[in-house]
Amino acid sequence: MVDNSKRPKGRDGDGILSSLNVAIDGLNIAKEATSVLQAKAAFNSACVLLTMIRVCFLPVYVDQLLANA
């Protein structure tokens, strides 16, 4: 039997990763579109934070893929 204790509840891993990718892309577009220095810094900080969350989520996602294979 496969242990799914690390599996995200309520949503599949693909949906979470694609949502993070969309959010990161949106922040990058907003950062490029603004000319306000403080806004660029805020968008960059949020983008870095979401990227770190995505990287931390990947090992759980890979484990889930391997368990389903």
Distances in whole angstroms, Cα of residue 68 to Cα of each of 2, 5, 32, 63: 8, 14, 39, 9
| Residue, of 5 and 57, whose pLDDT is higher | 57
Q: What is the residue extent of each domain of the chain?
A: 13-68
Residue indicated by tokens 């805020």: 42
67: CB partners within 8 A, 6+ apart: 2, 3, 4
Write down the pLDDT at residue 64.
66
Q: Could you tell me the pTM of the whole model? A: 0.65
Residue predicted with more confidence, 13 or 56:
56
| 24-67 pLDDT per residue, tens | 999 999 999 999 999 999 999 999 999 998 888 777 666 666 67
